[in-house]
Chain A
Amino acid sequence: MPSQAKPPGRSAGKSILLTLPVLLWSLIIFSRSMLVKGAAPKIAALLTLVFMVTLFFLMVRTRETYRWRRIFFVTLGVLFPIGFIAQLLAMRGSMSISMEKMIAGDTPFCFMVIPMVLIPAALTRTVIFPGSILPSASNPHAIAAMIALWLGATIVLGKGWCSYGCFFGGIEEGFAAVARKARIKKIDERWRWVPWGVLVAIVLLSLATFEPTYCSWLCPFKTVTEFAEVRSLETAVQTGIFLSLFFGLVVVLPWLTKKRAQCAFFCPFGAFQSLFNKINVFEIRIDRKKCTDCISCRRSCPTMALTEASVTEGKTLITCMKCGACVDVCHKDAALWHIKGTEFGKAPERARLLYLYAAWLFATMFGGTIIAGGIQTLIQFAA
């Protein structure tokens, strides 16, 4: 069967016009940093603005999503720990937090905690996390702000949060991109149920113990953010678990499999976030009339959200994080962006663009601010 060519890229003029809303949004987001005293915040904001707008322009111009998004996402994954750790060192002089400071509510609230706090909060009106509800001088990353941000993004993006918002995902996507070829190619599909099992376990254990079990015991990203001071055998065991999970799931396995191994085979938040794909209007579907079952889409999926059965049904699994890898790799244009409730296959590029606007506006506000913070830290460090 002759290969059907992908539609050509957009003209530069049309691409610039389509990029203008993102430029305007970026100016609004970064203008505040332009007014701050000192050169570092201004340079960081300007660089980030150019970075974000250029990437969006390239997404529009080339009609490709994945590779440009990956550049943003890996940059976010690299710069988040840099900015965050610098902030911790400036505030406390250490990445570790003492029990006294934890009890005082100085722990920044991370979105990973959300599935664990919901049921205890509903039953007892208690947030089982030692943070502050509203932002304070010592802790600007408060619970209410993070939940509001997550909820808004989740309604609009569904599991797209994991492709555009999760600063941790960028780290493993970076390690997955390092290797030229996957060394482990055959992965049992049953592994993809592990995040759901971990989710069930941590939700039940958090309800039983009234502490966010995942944060205390299983979060690999404590390694690059904040962790409890090692003062006892228990905290030593916890630190050992964090380190092992980080190097195993975030460094080694992504490098060996070229998959986002932690997201696909462990992350309970990702499993929880998948549930919101049910209510999200954007999705990727497979046109069975065009599909030749070449399995390039399945190979390209970083989280194994496409299986033989799902492709046969013309769907992705609920765990699809809408990164666009399968759409970009499909030479038959069988994998298409789609808005639920509209005719399938009629205007997939329009669906992609609408999704990208939503995703990129959020990415600029959330990830862009983090990237600017990281660049500012690097400039200040260099100076």
Chain B
Amino acid sequence: MPFATEAVVLGLSTGPACVAFCGPVLAPLLAAEGRTLRGASARLAAFLGGRLVGYLMFAAAAWALGAAIPLHPGPRALLSGAMHLLIAGMLAFAALPRRKPAPCAHGCAGCPHEAGERFRTAGPALLGLATGINLCPPFVAAALRASESGSLAGALLFFTLFFAGTSVWFVPAAGLGLLGKLGPAVTIARIAMAVMAAWYAYLGLFGILGGLIHA
């Protein structure tokens, strides 16, 4: 099978697993922050964009260092732990109830200077980046194959096509934005994010602890 086709097929075949791994982060985020189908689509695009950047960064590292190094138990646990802590922090922030912002000192409507508004724009992208570097099984499979490519461009292309294959499975998630119209759905999604934040914080702390022990 040609290298490019293999990347797309790998992405398509492991996409459901990627959705399952990213679901705990993405689903409540879209339900809480999406509000409309359009808003949710924009946030999903930001999340996927962040995820692509994460993939490409890892592809570059995998190619430059060889897959064996970033996938070594010690660094792998440290990297995963750090990403999990980042996810936990952002989910905890997203779970906080939003107060109606005070009138903006800059005089702008829908103020981008307000912390909550800034999170609604940048948060999904950062969460996408953090989950993108999360070493789930499909990702590890792709990393191993990408590291076998002859060049950095090849590794980047492999990960881009792999990403495109997996992303097809994420498209229906934009529909979760419609839930945001229901008042309780937003509250429920925020509570779910708080539970997830505790879970990822635990994973992060134990990941870093494990990584330090291995190192």
How far is it, in angstroms, between the C-alpha of A360 and the C-alpha of B191 when the chains are bound? 36
- Whether A201 pairs with B24 at a CB distance below 8 angstroms is yes
Does A281 count as interface, using CB distance less than 8 angstroms? no
With A190-B187, A196-B184, A234-B206 given, is the CB distance from A201 to B16 under 8 Å?
A: no
Interface centre among A194, A201, A207 (most CB of B within 10 A): A201
* Nearest chain B CB to A273 CB, angstrom units: 16
How far is it, in angstroms, between the C-alpha of A208 and the C-alpha of B87 when the chains are bound? 15
With A193-B188, A234-B206 given, is the CB distance from A204 to B24 under 8 Å?
A: yes
Bin chain B's interface residue count: 20 to 34
- CB-based A-B contact count at 8 angstroms: 55
Closest A-chain residue to B183, C-beta based? A193
- Whether A201 pairs with B20 at a CB distance below 8 angstroms is no
Does B189 count as interface, using CB distance less than 8 angstroms? yes
Contact residues of B between 184 and 215, Cβ < 8 Å to A: 184, 187-192, 194-196, 199, 202, 206
Residues of B contacting A200 in the complex (Cβ-Cβ under 8 angstroms): 27-28, 188-189, 191-192
With A193-B184, A201-B199, A237-B202 given, is the CB distance from A208 to B24 under 8 Å?
A: yes
- Whether B199 pairs with A205 at a CB distance below 8 angstroms is yes
How far is it, in angstroms, between the C-alpha of A233 and the C-alpha of B202 when the chains are bound? 12
Give which listed residue, B21, B192, B206, contacts A201 with CB less than 8 A.
Answer: B192
Residues of B contacting A193 in the complex (Cβ-Cβ under 8 angstroms): 184, 187-188, 191
Does A382 count as interface, using CB distance less than 8 angstroms? no
* Nearest chain A CB to B19 CB, angstrom units: 9
Contact residues of A between 217 and 269, Cβ < 8 Å to B: 217, 233-234, 237
How far is it, in angstroms, between the C-alpha of A213 and the C-alpha of B24 when the chains are bound? 12
- Whether B191 pairs with A207 at a CB distance below 8 angstroms is no
How far is it, in angstroms, between the C-alpha of A200 and the C-alpha of B190 when the chains are bound? 10
Closest B-chain residue to A218, C-beta based? B195
How far is it, in angstroms, between the C-alpha of A193 and the C-alpha of B194 when the chains are bound? 13
Q: Encode contact with A along B61-92: 1 for CB under 8 Å, 0 otherwise.
A: 00000000000000000000000000000000
Residues of B contacting A196 in the complex (Cβ-Cβ under 8 angstroms): 184, 188, 191
Does B23 count as interface, using CB distance less than 8 angstroms? yes
How far is it, in angstroms, between the C-alpha of A52 and the C-alpha of B20 when the chains are bound? 46
Does A383 count as interface, using CB distance less than 8 angstroms? no
Contact residues of A between 189 and 215, Cβ < 8 Å to B: 190, 193-194, 196-198, 200-202, 204-205, 207-208, 213
Closest B-chain residue to A207, C-beta based? B20
How far is it, in angstroms, between the C-alpha of A193 and the C-alpha of B193 when the chains are bound? 13
Contact residues of B between 1 and 31, Cβ < 8 Å to A: 16, 20-21, 23-24, 27-28
- Whether B23 pairs with A194 at a CB distance below 8 angstroms is no
How far is it, in angstroms, between the C-alpha of A196 and the C-alpha of B206 when the chains are bound? 27
Give which listed residue, A123, A190, A205, contacts B16 with CB less than 8 A.
Answer: A123
Give which listed residue, A198, A208, A237, contacts B20 with CB less than 8 A.
Answer: A208
Residues of B contacting A234 in the complex (Cβ-Cβ under 8 angstroms): 206
Closest A-chain residue to B22, C-beta based? A208
- Whether B23 pairs with A201 at a CB distance below 8 angstroms is no
* Nearest chain A CB to B26 CB, angstrom units: 9
- Whether B195 pairs with A197 at a CB distance below 8 angstroms is yes
* Nearest chain A CB to B121 CB, angstrom units: 24
* Nearest chain B CB to A196 CB, angstrom units: 4
Residues of A contacting B199 in the complex (Cβ-Cβ under 8 angstroms): 201, 205, 213, 217
Closest B-chain residue to A213, C-beta based? B199
Residues of A contacting B16 in the complex (Cβ-Cβ under 8 angstroms): 123
* Nearest chain B CB to A138 CB, angstrom units: 32
Residues of B contacting A123 in the complex (Cβ-Cβ under 8 angstroms): 16
Give which listed residue, A197, A205, A207, contacts B190 with CB less than 8 A.
Answer: A197
Residues of A contacting B191 in the complex (Cβ-Cβ under 8 angstroms): 193-194, 196-198, 200-201
Interface centre among A194, A198, A202, A204 (most CB of B within 10 A): A204
Residues of A contacting B194 in the complex (Cβ-Cβ under 8 angstroms): 197
Contact residues of A between 114 and 137, Cβ < 8 Å to B: 123
* Nearest chain A CB to B170 CB, angstrom units: 14
Residues of B contacting A194 in the complex (Cβ-Cβ under 8 angstroms): 191
- Whether A204 pairs with B23 at a CB distance below 8 angstroms is yes
How far is it, in angstroms, between the C-alpha of A36 and the C-alpha of B196 when the chains are bound? 50
Q: Encode contact with B along A164-201: 1 for CB under 8 Å, 0 otherwise.
A: 00000000000000000000000000100110111011
Residues of B contacting A237 in the complex (Cβ-Cβ under 8 angstroms): 202
- Whether B189 pairs with A207 at a CB distance below 8 angstroms is no
Interface centre among A190, A197, A202 (most CB of B within 10 A): A197
Residues of B contacting A190 in the complex (Cβ-Cβ under 8 angstroms): 187
How far is it, in angstroms, between the C-alpha of A197 and the C-alpha of B194 when the chains are bound? 9
Residues of A contacting B24 in the complex (Cβ-Cβ under 8 angstroms): 201, 204-205, 208
How far is it, in angstroms, between the C-alpha of A198 and the C-alpha of B184 when the chains are bound? 14
* Nearest chain A CB to B139 CB, angstrom units: 13
Please provide the 6 A-B residue pairs with the shortest distance between their CB atoms, ordered closest to farther.
Answer: A197-B191, A201-B195, A200-B192, A204-B24, A201-B192, A196-B188
Instruction: Write 26 A-B pairs (CB below 8 A) sorted by A numbering.
Output: A190-B187, A193-B184, A193-B187, A194-B191, A196-B191, A197-B189, A197-B190, A197-B191, A197-B194, A197-B195, A200-B27, A200-B28, A201-B28, A201-B195, A201-B196, A204-B23, A204-B24, A204-B28, A204-B192, A204-B196, A205-B24, A205-B199, A207-B23, A208-B20, A208-B24, A213-B199
| Seed contacts A200-B189, A201-B28; 13 additional CB < 8 Å A-B pairs | A193-B187, A197-B195, A198-B195, A200-B28, A200-B191, A200-B192, A201-B192, A201-B195, A204-B192, A204-B196, A207-B20, A213-B199, A237-B202
* Interfacial residues, chain A to chain B (CB-CB below 8 A): 123, 190, 193-194, 196-198, 200-202, 204-205, 207-208, 213, 217, 233-234, 237
